[in-house]
Amino acid sequence: MAEILTGAPVSEAMIRSLIPRAEKLRIGGVTPRLAIIRLGEVGSQLAYQHSAQRMMARIGAEAECFVLAESCPKAELLALVEEINRRRDIQGCMILRPLPSPLDEQAVCAALVPEKDVDGVTPASLGAVFTGRSVGYPPCTAQACIELLEHYGIGLTGKHVVLIGRSLVVGRPLSMLLQARDATVTLCHSRSRDLPGLCQRADILVAAAGSPGLIGKEHLSPGQTVIDVGINTVRGRLCGDVRFDEAEAIVQRISPVPGGVGAVTTAVLAKHLIDAAEKTALPG
């Protein structure tokens, strides 16, 4: 049976290291504060907002939620982002997405200053992931996969990582973070030929397709580590992209859904907020 790579010990270790950093900031007169922008009442976004608020409370940071109407004009949203850019008491901002159409999500994300882009959505943050510069922050889910692998001592140097999904939220930035750690990365997508054959050759397989049960025994080999990023709802139940029962019987290690990568994502958000607050408290 495979070792189960649960996210809770990873996020707990991160929280333990963030609490004294947040306290030191508060003693120095800087209360770490995250702005959360939400449009409308989408259930999954409300759930993520609440989980981010709980995480901020745990580390001793504050979360300030700005709620706008689903039909809010672009100018009103941009004015809010500008206000957050200006406010010295807010060091990080998360814009809950997807934004309702016809809002131009790219333009809204680009309006945020990279110093406060703790969720890795601005062109500057994404560019930095690709160029290796330290501007902004990588997308939290991509970084959460790295945190999970590092916590469980799974080395990346020289490993062949097969990554399924090429979105700007997970797949593409994660491919860069992995290459920066000397992994050899194969990035797959919906047009990739022979996905089972490609997956079988992986040392580490990361599934981020958003397709429930896409990966099963025909994709897997003994000795592999499988990271399931997918979050899908099937008949009211959360599941990943990997058929867990089939995979658990074959591979060496696997992260579950729920309770795997998703459990680490808000801890990464908190870490980015503390990093950002420390940069404002100790400029340069």
Q: Which of 81, 176, 185, 209 binds ligand NAP (CB under 6 A)?
A: 209
Tell whether residue 233 is a contact of ligand NAP (CB under 6 A): no
Q: Kindly indicate which of the ranges 27-35, 90-98, 173-181, 230-238 contains the residues binding ligand NAP, using the contact rule CB under 6 A.
A: 230-238
CB-count burial class (<10 Å; 0-12, 13-18, 19+) for 101:
exposed
Alpha carbon distance, N-terminus to C-terminus of the chain: 49
Looking only at residues 60 through 119 of this chain, which bind ligand NAP when binding is defined by CB under 6 A? none
Tell whether residue 239 is a contact of ligand NAP (CB under 6 A): no
Minimum separation from the CB atom of position 263 to ligand NAP (A): 8
Tell whether residue 265 is a contact of ligand NAP (CB under 6 A): yes
Tell whether residue 54 is a contact of ligand NAP (CB under 6 A): no
Which two structure tokens, joined as six digits, stand for 83? 């206000």
Minimum separation from the CB atom of position 187 to ligand NAP (A): 9
Tell whether residue 126 is a contact of ligand NAP (CB under 6 A): no
Tell whether residue 215 is a contact of ligand NAP (CB under 6 A): no
Helices (H) and strands (E) in the chain, counts: 10, 11
Tell whether residue 120 is a contact of ligand NAP (CB under 6 A): no
| ∠ Cα 178 17 52 (to 5°) | 75
Minimum separation from the CB atom of position 145 to ligand NAP (A): 9
Tell whether residue 136 is a contact of ligand NAP (CB under 6 A): no
Residue 186, beta-bridge partner list: 162
Spell out a b/e string for 170-205, using b for 16 or more CB atoms within 10 Å of the CB, else e: bbbbbbbbbeeeebebbbbeeeeeebeebbeebbbb
Question: x-or-dash pattern for ligand NAP, window 167-186, by CB under 6 A?
Answer: x-xxx---------------
Provide the angle, in degrees to the nearest 10, between the axes of the packed helices 8-27 and 43-59. Answer: 60
Do the beta carbons of residue 36 and residue 64 sit within 8 Å?
Answer: yes
Tell whether residue 31 is a contact of ligand NAP (CB under 6 A): no
Alpha helices (H) in 32-139, listed in sequence order: 43-59, 74-86, 105-111, 123-131
- Applying CB under 6 A, the residues found at the interface with ligand NAP are 141, 164-167, 169-171, 188-192, 195, 208-211, 214, 229-232, 261-262, 265
